[in-house]
């Protein structure tokens, strides 16, 4: 009961007491408004690195540039990792007299791109005067006088997810220095380059460098703020597990007049498999899948109950008539999810031939919640396939395998890490809530767990310290899709929050 009361009180008190920005934030804002072109210039330059999984040299170049940014600010910086993984940018700065050490995490890699779907080159950022509309012209920000219109948006891959967090961190650090404010905590930095590919090597790198990375708190600069645009903190994130399934039909495409409804159709088989594992309300029909899902605490339930409702506005924005689930948005996100990311089989449109396709490829991700494990989810899914008569292979089947088994599916699992919901009532948690509220000057949204995944489970598991999410970017940033963008006001707010947590946090 105590923790529930705390959560409720925190929101109410902050709302009542902090109606405008504090002194530190005012000073930071003053510096920022004079330096907007340089700050946007840094984000523009960072976005030009093609730091996506398909381009390993682009990832290394971005990491090297970030290492230099940190070194130029007095940090001891290093690139950690193995030959197989993009480097982890790691840095530390010891502040005389500071009692606590805080690690700031973000990732500099972006999601894959399908350039044909973008309105501009994903790696040649374009500023526009707002969200992408029919006739939204580009803004020549390089020749504009600051302060910039805070509703302007910069478009590019990874600009929001997560390069804005990185630039907010750097600008906040510069602002504190410019206004003569010493950080209140020792600062460590972990900027990862493999998050969008599932952070397959992160746990191993963290463990190998555990001593170097030890701290009292991790702050996670990933994910968007709440849809109300209110400053947001989150205390956990769903885990995830990627999967690509390939379902095999005839080894060459067959005329569907001569062989249709005799030769098996892999597109139809894929549809039937998807329908067997996912209900039309998004529920997961795989037997035992939700075993071991941990219930929410009273504090967590109370926090959820205080999330401002935005479903109606989102439905309007997304052009949908309603949700597929029966719950509200944030209640839905507390459950595991089975997302169909893509299906490819045969041809459609002008290329559609009347043929039975040779295969069907289905890209999936599972979002998992405490205390589901990656191994447990894999096992339950594979058992479900076996029970439905599927033969599981890991390479394309040879002729003998094709002849022997009527339902063959190739599984390629990708990445995978568990979820985290951390304690919302620890001293560090209380201090972060109080400091961020003070900087924001308005009520925070405090989420027990975010729907999206960041590999923060590893931090909690490896270092046994509080892990709190500190999102910055706008929710309508198109992250993971074409035309990803950052709204400038979110970058400005992010600088304020980072500056307050670097300059005033303590417990």
Residues in 110-139 that interact with a copy of itself by CB under 8 A: 111-114
Stretch of residues binding a copy of itself (CB under 8 A), selected from 32-40, 253-261, 431-439, 461-469: 253-261
d(CA 272, CA 406): 14
One character per residue 208-227, x = contact with a copy of itself (rule: CB under 8 A): ---------------xx---
Length of the chain: 507
Query: How far apart are CB 270 and a copy of itself at their closest, in Å?
Result: 7
Instruction: Kindly tell me which residue out of 255, 308, 375, 427 binds a copy of itself, with binding defined by CB under 8 A.
Output: 255
Which run of H or of E encompasses 468?
Answer: strand 467-469
In this structure, are residues 305 and 330 in contact, taking their beta carbons and an 8 Å threshold? Answer: no
Helix (H, G, I), strand (E, B) or coil at 476: coil
Q: Is residue 490 a contact residue for a copy of itself (CB under 8 A)? A: no
Options 133, 257, 295, 395; binder of a copy of itself; rule CB under 8 A: 257
What's the token pair of residue 91? Answer: 């840095």
Contacting residue, 25, 47, 51, 265, with a copy of itself by CB under 8 A: 265
Ordered DSSP codes for 291-325 = TTPPPPPHHHHHHHHTSPP-HHHHHHHHT-SS-SS
Residue 55: CB partners within 8 Å, gap ≥ 6? none
Q: Say whether residue 280 binds a copy of itself (CB under 8 A).
A: yes
Among 81, 346, 370, 469, binds a copy of itself (CB under 8 A): 346
Q: Does residue number 176 form part of the binding site for a copy of itself (CB under 8 A)?
A: no
Site for a copy of itself in 433-462 (CB under 8 A): 450-453
Which C-beta is closer to a copy of itself: that of 278 or that of 380? Answer: 278
Query: Does 386 engage in binding with a copy of itself (CB under 8 A)?
Result: no
In 249-298, where do the E strands start and end?
254-255
Which of 210, 94, 85, 108 is closest to 159 using CA atoms? 108
User: Counting contacts by CB under 8 A, is residue 20 touching a copy of itself?
Assistant: no
**33 vs 391, which CB is nearer to a copy of itself?**
391
Binding-site member from 295, 348, 395, 464 for a copy of itself (CB under 8 A) = 348
| Interior angle at CA 135, CA 133 and CA 493, nearest 5 | 45
What does 372-409 look like in DSSP terms, one character per residue?
--HHHHHHHHHHHHHHTTPEEESS---HHHHHH-SSEE
List the interface residues with a copy of itself, window 42-71 (CB under 8 A): 53-54
* Nearer Cβ to a copy of itself (469/503): 469
Among 181, 306, 378, 402, binds a copy of itself (CB under 8 A): 402
- Residue choice 96, 97, 352, 395 for contact with a copy of itself (CB under 8 A): 352
- Rounded Cα distance between 159 and 485, Å, is 6
CB of 98 to a copy of itself, least distance (A): 34
Query: Which residues, at least 6 apart from 349, have a Cβ–Cβ distance to it below 8 Å?
Result: none
CA angle 431, 434, 437 (to 5 degrees): 145
The verdict on 387 binding a copy of itself (CB under 8 A) reads no
């Amino acid at each position: 009961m105590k923790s529930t009361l705390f959560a409720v009180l925190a929101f109410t008190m902050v709302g009542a007491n902090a109606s405008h920005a504090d002194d530190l934030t005012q000073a930071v804002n003053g510096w920022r408004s004079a330096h907007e072109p340089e700050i946007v210039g840094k984000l523009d330059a960072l976005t030009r690195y093609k730091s996506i999984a398909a381009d390993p040299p682009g990832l290394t170049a971005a990491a090297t540039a970030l290492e230099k940014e940190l070194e130029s600010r007095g940090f001891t910086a290093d690139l950690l990792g193995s030959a197989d993984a993009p480097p982890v940018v790691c840095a530390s700065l010891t502040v005389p007299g500071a009692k606590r050490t805080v690690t700031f995490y973000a990732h500099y890699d972006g999601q894959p791109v399908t350039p044909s779907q973008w309105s501009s080159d994903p790696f040649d950022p374009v500023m526009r005067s707002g969200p992408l509309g029919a006739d939204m012209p580009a803004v020549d920000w390089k020749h504009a006088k600051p302060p910039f219109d805070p509703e302007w948006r910069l478009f590019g891959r990874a600009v929001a997810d997560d390069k804005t967090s990185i630039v907010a961190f750097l600008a906040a650090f510069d602002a504190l220095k410019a206004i003569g404010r010493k950080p209140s905590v020792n600062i460590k930095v972990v900027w990862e380059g493999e998050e969008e590919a599932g952070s397959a090597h992160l746990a191993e790198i963290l463990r190998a460098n555990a001593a170097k990375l030890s701290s009292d708190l991790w702050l996670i600069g990933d994910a968007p703020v709440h849809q109300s645009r209110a400053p947001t903190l989150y205390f956990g994130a769903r885990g995830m597990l990627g999967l690509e399934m390939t379902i095999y039909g005839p080894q060459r495409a067959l005329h569907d007049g001569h062989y249709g409804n005799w030769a098996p159709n892999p597109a139809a088989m894929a549809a039937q498999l998807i329908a067997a594992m996912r209900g039309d309300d998004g529920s997961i029909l795989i037997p035992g899948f939700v075993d071991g899902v941990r219930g929410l605490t009273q504090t967590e339930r109370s926090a959820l109950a205080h999330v401002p409702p935005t479903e109606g506005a989102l439905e309007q924005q997304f052009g949908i008539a309603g949700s597929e689930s029966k719950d509200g948005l944030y209640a839905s996100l507390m459950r595991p999810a089975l997302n169909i990311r893509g299906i490819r089989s045969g041809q459609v449109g002008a290329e559609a031939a009347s043929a039975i396709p040779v295969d069907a490829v289905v890209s999936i991700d599972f979002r998992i919640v405490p205390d589901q494990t990656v191994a447990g989810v894999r096992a339950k899914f594979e058992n479900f396939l076996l029970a439905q008569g599927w033969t599981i292979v890991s390479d394309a089947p040879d002729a003998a395998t094709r002849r022997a088994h009527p339902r063959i599916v190739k599984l390629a699992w990708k990445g995978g890490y568990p979820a985290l919901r951390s304690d919302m009532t620890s001293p560090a948690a209380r201090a972060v809530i109080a400091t961020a509220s003070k900087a924001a000057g308005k009520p925070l949204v405090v989420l027990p767990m975010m729907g999206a995944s960041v590999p923060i489970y590893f931090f909690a598991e490896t270092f046994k310290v509080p892990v709190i999410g500190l999102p910055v970017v706008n929710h309508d940033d198109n992250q993971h899709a074409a035309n990803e963008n950052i709204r400038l006001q979110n970058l400005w707010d992010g600088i304020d929050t980072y500056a307050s947590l670097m300059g005033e946090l303590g417990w």
